[in-house]
Structure 1
């Protein structure tokens, strides 16, 4: 049901609207969808490549930081394995002169060979609990205040697994990091605790990590997630405090570096940095989409305009024909369907114009024929009136039988004059047959017997007028007239299913087989008027032709005959046929 409604809706649309729908369904939507998918895939690819480039730049900054830490770790390793320095720190001094000698010969040379050249990068300090040493700029005592500091507690904590530690100092501001290492390489021979603490200057780390060409903001995060260094002037505490929705964050961790495990560097970039790389791709997609839209649209627009113009001209011609104007359509010859339709329309217009002229002439001829037919009815009316006068004369003289025969004959004339309806009920046709048989009974006397056996269900079935009478007439003239013994004519009418069977039987002389074959063949050729020119079997041919006219292929007329035994003519017609005005007008007015 829905498919029928959809088809009906589609058929009701104008052709222009159909083409627009086809354009959107077959061109606009596929192109828009295809270009959207193509742009999405291209944008994702460009975005991925841009992120890869940004990550490579981030990796460069991460390597710089790692190299800085590596150099400090290398410096601490030299100090860590310096036996002279460790021995000087483990020695218990008895005099101040001995301490000064150790400073000048061992302590200062061991530290200052690295620190002087790198003091702009970091500061190195030694912490010891050897109270016989003198406190100086690079040498500090492990006193109660030192033991209370967080970096010291983390250094001496039993859970510490590495020989060195990178510690973040949150105070003072700005924060900084230190590489701390306990000097326990000679632990078995050590008397005192010794700790090397190297503070990396924030300025050095700032110059190492960041450059002016970096497209975003850079952040160094310790294992706790705290921001140690940032390219911002105001250092935020957590990364989430500075990241907004229109920003992209890229993380890079220090994989494979044991002492930097848990540390990571993060780059925060405005989305505009990535979107800027999509600009060229976006322009290309826009230009490609416009090209895909403009050229098909112009092509379809031109095609629609041409189609609408030619169909409009054809529709205009149809309107002309409706107004009885039969001018030919003037258009360029084309071999497509519309061109062929236009050419056929011109041919049809020419033919209709000719047919109208022919019909006009035929109408004039028909009216002349009607006038002639009305004139020809004067003679049957004259005969009917004359017979009626003769009948009245017979009645006056007491010749009742003759008067009755003349009455039947006059009724027959009267019926023959009335052809307003070619289809009449079977009952009326049988009354016609009975009048004829009574007249023939007057002629043949005891030589003719007749019998009617009729099923009441078929009495109202419409049948062509005078379609049974000619069969009864043939039975009398060709069957009974030359019979020496008594003849019998039987008319049967019964209903069998959806058909009515009507039979006219006689026990006359019958028909020879060769003549029967010729007779049946003449019925098949009775469709043309030339078949009536020989004057033979006119009544039978007339009945067959009129049955064919009304019932087409839904009737059957059969003839069976045995020579010297009699003849049976049977008609089978449908019982559901109703008479129509076309049938009345198309009837044959002869018998």
Structure 2
């Protein structure tokens, strides 16, 4: 992948092709995305309105069903055989029945309950409890798990059917107390259960998603998904669904509809796929046109690139067939002009090379001479020692060390400690001449000794202090060398107690030019190495006598090789 990217990134044609493609695809993608987003908003708004209307209609139908069951239960409770049997079970002395009559009424009640159950397929079973706990049911009715609870909730609103906030064997269930029409005495309880399969089928007509019937605590009593019955309803992925809620008129139930948004996004997705197809088709068309145009634009650049690669191999050829006048043509003509100038300069280069060779020979001779001088000084030192002289060998030895340090190749920068060592040699050499008249001291922070400085940086400054300071004095002369750090720069100072730079009347050029020739060379050398902000300056000490030369260079620490 990285190799492919490097290949694409190395070609102007591919870069421009990618840019043109992005300029085409991005606007089309934005238009398609905005169209999809806005369309989804409009359709979602309409679906929400439709869903609200739909749950109202469904809730009304369910309430009508619950009310119908209540009317059917009320009708059952006033049937002759039901009243007769319940009165007898409640007070057999007041309402006596023979055993045969009781059996006949029980049979009739069973037939009645079967008839009512079959006339309303949604009903699963019908139960009648007398005050003695005896139960009369429709055929094949399973036993109840919540008989006592049903009696309790039915007693909350006498004469009305109450729908239980729980299920009995997976079935919704309701209960109603039965009273004597004339005396108002309670005879028993009538209970009706609804078929779970029938409720699922009834709710399955809700085509727009899932539908739930829950109690006030969120327990699912009926649902389009039977696996959720008798579990708590949880609002999940509310951002991905449209949820509506309505409370029943005839019960304490909540009707909840939940419709996923992707259920109505099919048409939008199809439209989006079509838009993407159009986008890709348009991009391919633009890509073909772009390739044709870019070939025309980049062809001269490719030719120019090949000619420039030849020029790197010293094969100088001009570009032919330039017919246009645009910026690329101007570049090609400029290249041709450059090649012509290069060909003209090649002849001059040979002459320059000859002059250069002569300069190199002169440099070699100049390099040989210091070596010859150094060797000669060593011979003089040996001969002086043999003659018994002490000072002459010492001066020759110091001068030899300084000369060897100055001509040693490959040492442009040296540690400050090394530079100070050879500055001391230079001072010791002059002390042989001036004796006790010349004294010196150093003030240096030890951690700065390993900082690298240009070689022979201090020697011209010390020489200037001796010639223009110590040499012009009759009394004791002092030279102080200071090195310290200031604002992350290295400051080197050479101070003498001579007559002073500003009082030097013997050398007008030294005073008027600001820096003498030696000092000017040092200042120019520092600025060439480190820039204009560094360099050399001359000051007069506060006491009013002497000269202080200050040099500022960056702090450079070179890590020594292992």
Task: Please report the TM-score for the alignment, with normalisation by the length of structure 1.
Answer: 0.45
Larger radius of gyration: 1
